[in-house]
Amino acid sequence: MNSKNLIIPRKLSGFMELLPSKQIIFDNYLEKIKQVFLNNSFLPLDTPILEYSDVLLAKSGGEVDKEVYRFKKGDNDLCMRYDLTVPLARFVSMEKDNLIFPFKRFQIGKVFRGEKPQKGRFRELYQCDADIVGFDDLPIPADAECIKLIIDIFNAINIQDILIQISNRNILFGYCEDLGYSDIISEILIILDKVGKIGKENAILSLEDLSVKHEDALKLINLTEKKGNFENILNEIKNISNNETFKLGVAQLEELNTYLNAYKLDKTKYILDLSIIRGHNYYTGTVFETIMISHPEFGAICAGGRYDNLTGYFSQQKMPGVGISVGITRLFDLLDKNNLLPPIKPSLNKIEIIPLGETIKDCLILEAYLKANNILCQTNYSNKSFKSKMKDANKSQVPYIIIVGENEVASELYPLKNMTTGEQIILSKEDIVKKINNN
Amino acid sequence: MNSKNLIIPRKLSGFMELLPSKQIIFDNYLEKIKQVFLNNSFLPLDTPILEYSDVLLAKSGGEVDKEVYRFKKGDNDLCMRYDLTVPLARFVSMEKDNLIFPFKRFQIGKVFRGEKPQKGRFRELYQCDADIVGFDDLPIPADAECIKLIIDIFNAINIQDILIQISNRNILFGYCEDLGYSDIISEILIILDKVGKIGKENAILSLEDLSVKHEDALKLINLTEKKGNFENILNEIKNISNNETFKLGVAQLEELNTYLNAYKLDKTKYILDLSIIRGHNYYTGTVFETIMISHPEFGAICAGGRYDNLTGYFSQQKMPGVGISVGITRLFDLLDKNNLLPPIKPSLNKIEIIPLGETIKDCLILEAYLKANNILCQTNYSNKSFKSKMKDANKSQVPYIIIVGENEVASELYPLKNMTTGEQIILSKEDIVKKINNN
């Protein structure tokens, strides 16, 4: 092909693509999270990446959202999914007669957001979601299951310094009602959610702009500053309001705490924190965010909560749910940039077999034997020079090499060379297996 | 929400979406195939689902292919990937300085084809691909690795009655040259590839339409009918032509056979079959298709071959490759429709814990203990009636249940009921663990 006709190979920005040495670690995270979901009796689901636009955008009344990849194909108006929650809602609405409720499902998959690429933002990202969906109602133990799941996940991927900050939106809903602001609750919550970013004083000014009295603004902010263990904080606040919604929030948190205790979860890993609000309007009860204590600047590395009506756009059947989501692409990227990933290895092989002379066939015989004995290995059968092959073995950081020349073929004894120490021992293939598998 | 505003929940046709009970089996296939790739030292790669259209359609000179999902977003002309090979070519072209060659990568992921849905065709489908890419050249042991991979994969997913039909396109290329048809080789191969479908007589007529002589048409068809073990067939045909390309094909097949023997692969699972041509023009040497002997109507359940120049559209650096692809979505669908899937279980749980009275907290304590001892279990904490919970346990086919009432909480002894035999024994939680884990 003429070089003038070459297409410059390039990848879209905002799409993570790892070299295999890092992909191994990423896949390992996914695998461990999947195993946690399965061990907690969540069932797998794999919905399509493409959906009808009116279905996926039901919430926004089918309005085009700039962040969504939407296009026409033939007569169909299609969208790439931007989360895993709407597809879940669609699925349980369609399949409710074939499911046992509470329905516990997980899904690990890519979602797509066509937003402008910025630092740390991805247009294609993996989400690891687990949700529990009830039929008519869903008791509070489901919320406790979600908290357990988060603790299990970060244990599994060896991120130990986490803190799950838990709240319940009914507390603030009720308190706002109590103070006489029923009609501007959403607006108040949006401001309270931003106190950390904009500062207390600006938050007060913003609340006053909404016609919240100065003293009420102080009360609200004061309430969101409460955090600590469940018993202490609940005792502190339980009598500040007699509003029914407020009392419901307190009761739900008390019940949740009972189940968290029953699960004997590590109490250093979760607190009640009334500053947690979650932007999304669909959360109606428990809400939570997880941070890394050593890296609060990462923000929420896992979040979720309870929504009373998952399927409201699709069905008159009420199906409340509670769920968690780990944005693993973003988290992986943050860990990587902060050198917090486990050590990277360019190869998983234990042994590289290097032919010297015309011994490729014999190398493959040895390779097949070692593989049959569960030793990861490969033969470097390329046409490169012997020197280049040694270089490649070094580059791949393989722990052992075996050079197979005519003598080795004749004697069936092989020099197993430790690439770290340089030590070399002559072994039969049976003894190689013993040595490697006992290491 | 008013029912008038409800959106009818529906899924696009041609997109497979399984109930969790089947998804478990599908995931299990993917997991086993992935493990085979890893055990054979293939490294993971996960390229984006979206690519620049000119990159993805480089082959066709950027022409719009009806089968491709293509759209604009802002200034970008985008395509959803329709295979995993072009993204691999793009990746190795971009990253060649960061890879060790031969580069062995696998990728398991969804690809998208916007074609009209037909029976057994999917618009979103998983492919499990493994390829070996060389730098400048790539010796024949790579082809043998691919055949080994296929045998390992179908062993792993317990499909034993496979036959890998192997050929080498240089045989027919050379023979056509020899007969004087150098300028219409592609056209001839297209017809020879269809003999099975259109029948021998029609194939001869079609070849004659291309101005192939009747006797040559017979010779060509006669050659493609050769199949059997490598030694026999190669002996039969090796002297029928002195053409260099033909001789190259024979030599490559002989060398391949040497390595297949070195790997000690099960000889009932592969044959040399000169009827295998593969439609794609980019194959240049070894080609193979895998069929299920008991279900030849499934067609090729795994196929692949060697291409001399993977990256020709992106780079002047020659990078030959050889690879395999399993269309697992289609295969799963065929197995399902023919009742060839392993038994389906609606739940993975070993035990369902059912509270009787106000014992949910105590059930969760028991659940946490059992889970900590690696027993998959869950508490049915729903607000359903006790009778409904028993029904759900039956429906989920869980092997054991434990009903926890106040007596059980007080005594810390629990009735473990075998749901198949109806037998019930009273055990401490420690003894439950022993009994379940010893089963």
In this prediction, residue B374 carries a pLDDT of 96
B120: alpha, beta or left, given left = phi > 0 and alpha = psi -120 to 50?
A: left
Look over chain A and give the mean of its residue pLDDT values, rounded to a whole number. Answer: 95
Confidence of residue A345 (pLDDT cuts 50, 70, 90): confident
- Which positions ≥6 away from B361 have C-beta within 8 Å? A258, A259, A262
- Which positions ≥6 away from A192 have C-beta within 8 Å? A172, A203, A220, A221, A224, A275, A277
User: Residue A348: which of B21, B23, B38 has the nearest Cβ?
Assistant: B38
Contact at CB, A142 and B395, closer than 8 angstroms: no
- Which positions ≥6 away from B90 have C-beta within 8 Å? A9, A10, A11, B47, B51, B55, B314
Tell me the CA distances in angstroms from B32 to A41, A146, B37, B39, B153, one per residue in order.
21, 29, 9, 10, 8
Look up tokens 């971009």; give the residue: B94
**DSSP per residue, A133-194:** E-BSB--THHHHHHHHHHHHHHHHTT---EEEEEEEHHHHHHHHHHTT-GGGHHHHHHHHTT
- Which positions ≥6 away from B31 have C-beta within 8 Å? none
In this prediction, residue B4 carries a pLDDT of 57
Q: Which H or E run includes A304?
A: strand A302-307
Q: Distance (Å) from the C-alpha of residue A177 to the closest C-alpha of chain B?
A: 23
Q: Is the peptide bond before B102 cis (omega within 30 degrees of 0)?
A: yes
Distance, C-alpha B22 to centroid of its chain = 16
Which residues in B230-331 belong to E strands, given as ranges? Answer: 270-273, 286-292, 302-307, 321-326
Sign of CA dihedral B55, B57, B59, B62: negative
DSSP B240: S
Average pLDDT over residues B162-176: 97
In this prediction, residue B177 carries a pLDDT of 97
d(CA B206, CA B189): 11
**Three-state secondary structure of A356-421:** CCCCHHHHHHHHHHHHHCCCCEEECCCCCCHHHHHHHHHHCCCCEEEEECHHHHHHCEEEEEECCC
Question: What tens digit of pLDDT does each residue of A317-338 get?
Answer: 999 999 999 999 999 999 999 9
How close are the terminal C-alpha atoms of chain A, in Å? Answer: 50
Closest Cα in chain A to B43: A20
Lowest mean pLDDT among A276-280, A392-396, B264-268: A276-280
If one compares A60 and B54, the residue with the highest pLDDT of the two is: B54
Lowest mean pLDDT among A2-6, A71-75, A86-90, B39-43: A2-6
Question: What tens digit of pLDDT does each residue of B190-203 get?
Answer: 999 999 899 999 99
The CA angle B85-B88-B94, to the nearest 5 degrees, is 145
Confidence of residue B118 (pLDDT cuts 50, 70, 90): confident
Confidence of residue A1 (pLDDT cuts 50, 70, 90): very low
- Which positions ≥6 away from B439 have C-beta within 8 Å? none
Which residues in B254-315 belong to E strands, given as ranges? Answer: 270-273, 286-292, 302-307
Q: Distance (Å) from the C-alpha of residue B41 to the closest C-alpha of chain A?
A: 7
- Which positions ≥6 away from B145 have C-beta within 8 Å? B40, B104, B132
In this prediction, residue B3 carries a pLDDT of 53
Average pLDDT over residues B294-306: 96
Question: Where would I find the H helices in B316-359?
Answer: 328-337
Query: What one-letter code names the amino acid at A399?
Result: P
Confidence of residue A4 (pLDDT cuts 50, 70, 90): low
d(CA A8, CA B20): 42
d(CA A396, CA A390): 10
Is residue A224 within 8 Å of A172, Cβ to Cβ? yes
Q: Distance (Å) from the C-alpha of residue A365 to the closest C-alpha of chain B?
A: 5
Q: Distance (Å) from the C-alpha of residue B354 to the closest C-alpha of chain A?
A: 13
Is residue B414 within 8 Å of B404, Cβ to Cβ? yes
DSSP B345: -
pLDDT above 80 for A22: yes
pLDDT above 50 for A86: yes
Confidence of residue A370 (pLDDT cuts 50, 70, 90): very high
d(CA B178, CA A352): 43
d(CA A70, CA A66): 9
Question: What tens digit of pLDDT does each residue of B320-369 get?
Answer: 999 999 999 999 999 999 999 999 988 899 999 999 999 999 999 999 99
Interface A:B, Cβ pairs < 8 A: 268
In this prediction, residue A396 carries a pLDDT of 95
Closest Cα in chain A to B39: A376
Question: What tens digit of pLDDT does each residue of A293-309 get?
Answer: 999 999 999 999 999 88
User: Residue B139: which of A51, A347, A383 has the nearest Cβ?
Assistant: A383
If one compares A282 and B297, the residue with the highest pLDDT of the two is: B297
Residues of B in contact with A49 (CB under 8 A): 49, 110, 112, 124
pLDDT above 90 for A121: no
Look over chain B and give the mean of its residue pLDDT values, rounded to a whole number. Answer: 94
Tell me the CA distances in angstroms from A322 to A101, A266, A312, A405, B322, one per residue in order.
13, 21, 15, 63, 47
Closest Cα in chain B to A114: B73
Residue B216 φ then ψ, to 5° = -70, -40
In this prediction, residue B280 carries a pLDDT of 65
Q: Which of B364, B365, B378 best probes binding to A when mutated, by most A CB atoms within 10 angstroms?
A: B364
Contact at CB, A48 and B89, closer than 8 angstroms: no
Question: What tens digit of pLDDT does each residue of B141-158 get?
Answer: 999 999 999 999 999 999
pLDDT above 80 for B117: no
- SS3 of B284, please? coil
Considering only CA atoms, give the Rg of chain B. 28
Quick one: A421 exposed, middle or buried, by C-beta within 10 A (0-12, 13-18, 19+)?
exposed
> Around Cβ A295, how many Cβ atoms within 10 Å?
15
Contact at CB, B139 and A381, closer than 8 angstroms: yes
Using the CB atoms, write b or e for B109-137: b if 16+ within 10 Å: bbbbbbeeeeeeebbbbbbbbbbbbbbee
Question: What tens digit of pLDDT does each residue of B408-428 get?
Answer: 999 999 999 999 999 999 999
Confidence of residue A65 (pLDDT cuts 50, 70, 90): low
Confidence of residue B1 (pLDDT cuts 50, 70, 90): very low
d(CA B312, CA A2): 9
Tell me the CA distances in angstroms from B278 to B33, B49, B146, B334, one per residue in order.
23, 26, 16, 21
- SS3 of A208, please? helix
Average pLDDT over residues B127-135: 98
pLDDT > 70 in chain A, percent = 97
d(CA B282, CA B310): 8
d(CA A44, CA A65): 29
pLDDT > 90 in chain A, percent = 90
User: Residue A124: which of B9, B21, B50 has the nearest Cβ?
Assistant: B50
Q: Distance (Å) from the C-alpha of residue A242 to the closest C-alpha of chain B?
A: 27
In this prediction, residue B116 carries a pLDDT of 75
Contact at CB, B43 and A376, closer than 8 angstroms: no
> Around Cβ B427, how many Cβ atoms within 10 Å?
17
The CA angle B66-B71-B74, to the nearest 5 degrees, is 165
